[in-house]
Amino acid sequence: MITVNNKNFIPFISAEAIQTRIDELAGQINQEYAGKQPLIVVVLNGAFIFAADLVKRLTISCEITFIRVASYSATESSGTLKQILGLNDSIEGRDLIIIEDIVDTGLTISDVCNQLNAQKPASLAIATLLFKPAALKKQLDLNYVGFEIENRFVLGYGLDYDGLGRNTPDILVLE
């Protein structure tokens, strides 16, 4: 158990289970992208450890780039939009694989995908370590999902609570 800002987090997904699942996801990606050269787009900060472990197992040729997503309020009618920071590469005609830590409501990733699709990539796939189906508010195609989890707050292996807890090899859940 670890305590972060007076909240207790208990073991949820072990480091071994995570690594085993990433082996499987990498195997799938290696097969499905054989002969291609995808551009892997890592969504910082949360996906940094997942992405590092996943790309080490890719045997295909690929480029890897990093983006951040910042929320900003646009007009009242359109609500909160996401701004993509750090994407300097041209993605037109490229096979993109977006790497996320977690899809919760799905609002972030669907907004990011809409913006990327507007730049006409050849294809766009999403790889997320975690997915909370019960929280989903947008229809989404998730191509690679590590674990479907219940709608509880998780931390570790890149995911944080108030900026803390990213550095654990396991994933923990709020008690």
Active site residues: 104
Task: From 2-10, 34-42, 102-110, 115-123, give the range in contact with ligand XMP by CB under 6 A.
Answer: 102-110
Measured from the CB of residue 37, what is the shortest distance to ligand XMP in angstroms?
Answer: 27
Strand stretches in the chain, DSSP E? 2-4, 7-13, 39-44, 63-73, 80-85, 95-103, 123-131, 144-148, 154-155, 171-174
Nearer to ligand XMP, 53 or 101 (CB): 101
The two tokens of residue 119 are 């730049």
| Site for Mg ion, rule CB under 5 A | 46, 101
Nearer to ligand XMP, 91 or 149 (CB): 149
Measured from the CB atom, is 52 or 122 closer to ligand XMP?
A: 52
Element housing 27 (H / E): helix 15-32
- Within 141-160, the residues that bind ligand XMP by CB under 6 A are 153-155, 159-160
Residues 71-100 touching ligand XMP, rule: CB under 6 A, are: 100
Least spacing, CB of residue 33 vs Mg ion, in Å: 24
Cα three-residue angle 135-84-137, rounded to 5 degrees: 15
Give the whole-angstrom CA distance, residue 95 versus residue 143: 13
Instruction: For ligand XMP, give the closer residue by CB, 21 or 36.
Output: 21
Q: Are 136 and 119 in contact (CB under 8 A)?
A: no
Size of the site for ligand XMP (CB under 6 A): 16
How many CA atoms does the CB half-sphere of 143 hold within 13 Å?
17
Torsion of CA 31, 139, 65, 58, to 10 degrees: -20
Q: How far is the CB of 68 from Mg ion (least distance, A)?
A: 9
Binding region for ligand XMP (CB under 6 A): 46, 100-109, 153-155, 159-160
